[in-house]
Amino acid sequence: MAYGVATILKHLTAYKQLKSPEDEAADRLRKLATQSKTVEPKIEELDEDEQASVEDEQVFEWIMSMLMRNNELMEIMGELVKTESKEVRRTAARVLLNLIERQECRGKVLQTGGARMLLKIIASLTVNPGKAGSTATSPISSSSQKKQYEGELEPTDLPMLQALAKLLITTNPLLVFGPSPDSPLLLSALKPLITLLTHPASSLLQLFEGLMSLTNMASLSSHLAALIASSPRVLEKIEECMIGVRTGEHELIRRAATELLCNLASTQAILETFEEGPTSARSRSRLHLLIALSSSDDLPTALAAAGALALLVDHSSAVAKALVNETKLSESLGRVALDIIEEGKIGVQHRLITLLACMLEEDQDRWTKRPVGLKDALEKLKGRLGEEDEVSAEVRRLVGVVLHRLDE
């Protein structure tokens, strides 16, 4: 009976499933065939999609009345979560996802303990729930990680992780699982989000929401950022998303991945991967990627990439030396820097000038491979900037610092 109730609620709360282009084309052909056989004109009626939209809204109004009246729906959900049947709990998680996808329902779901219900379901559906926190910080091989995925979590379980991610994207995680970044509940939410990001069966939407939720989590404390950065396959997955491996030229996913890397850039685990030295092809490739994305047409991506570079240089003299002394890196950075200084947005200019100031800070480092015309471009930028706002004033000050160090 519990499974029947859960299934009915899942269907009632779900959006109408989107059809593929092939299905839509087949529907149009069927309608044309039907109309061609009709002799008498019919009274105009709502088409199938419009009728479904009306019905969806009517059901939605009923759901909202249940949520607002006396928490009847969430009380039912609480009972479903307690059942011993895994299928009932999986279906209950899907109901929660359906509710969370509706902005009007999300707040009520949070107020009535929906986030904790999700954590309880997630913990109960893993093979080794007692080890849930340990794998977030301990490295494991890719083969054992694949077995972990296959044994602990099926692709059909991913919607419950997605529901958790949606909550932590749209609401401050401290308000959901706080009050502090070291809250046990907040820490227990970390592994499911990492799994959503790195699971081989995650859809593009699940991947995107995993990135966004982890970006929010990493912004809360250096400890949480360190846990995320040191987790297996996280950096590898971030790189894949930035390059477009398996995700294609998906602008939002690339932006989210770059923003997550920016929030992790000052952690020891990330710094070590960029400090492998100028002889490391992997390290050079990562730096080239960030330099290229700093000139992206998508402003948030450019801001995040330039910010990540500035943080890496600020925290690692090895990265600064590589950018100054490694020929291809230096030339690539010089070309991008010149373009941004001449035509870039103020936010990207701020991050880039900060990067140059940090890069040239040590006396022994001389950027001999800097592009021709860089000093003139910096002088012109300094002349264009006023003191009307804090950012412009700070960029103007940093330009002066960079010019001074280039003259030394």
Lowest-pLDDT choice from 82-96, 213-227, 324-338, 364-378: 364-378
Q: What is the DSSP letter of 76?
A: H
Residue 375 lies in a domain: no
The verdict on residue 71 lying in a domain is yes
Which segment, 133-142, 233-242, 244-253, is predicted with the most confidence on average? Answer: 233-242
Tokens of 339: 């373009």
Q: What is the pLDDT of residue 361?
A: 80
For residue 362, the model assigns a pLDDT of 61
In a domain, 27, yes or no: no
Please report, for residues 37, 38, 45, the alpha-carbon distance to residue 41 in angstroms, rounded to integers and kept in the order given.
11, 7, 11
User: Which residue range is the domain that position 91 belongs to?
Assistant: 1-11+59-125
- Rounded to whole angstroms, what are the CA distances from 335 to 211, 325, 330, 352, 384? 30, 15, 9, 12, 21
- The Cα 160–Cα 116 span in angstroms is 12
Distance of alpha carbon 156 from its chain centroid, rounded?
21
93: in domain: yes
pLDDT for the residue 249: 80
What is the tally of structural domains in the chain?
Answer: 1
Question: Which parts of 45-188 fold into alpha helices (H)?
Answer: 48-70, 72-81, 86-100, 103-111, 114-124, 142-152, 158-170, 173-177, 184-188
Residue 65: the pLDDT is 73
Examine residue 92 and state whether it is found in any structural domain, yes or no: yes
Cβ-contact 365, 359 below 8 angstroms: yes
For residue 43, being part of any structural domain is answered with no
Is residue 96 within 8 Å of 163, Cβ to Cβ? yes
Q: Is residue 22 part of a domain?
A: no
Choice between 386 and 335, residue whose per-residue pLDDT is larger:
335
Does the pLDDT at position 42 exceed 80?
no
pLDDT at 192: 95
Q: Is residue 108 part of a domain?
A: yes
In the block, tokens 């008498």 appear at 40
DSSP state of 42: P
The per-residue pLDDT for 386 is 76
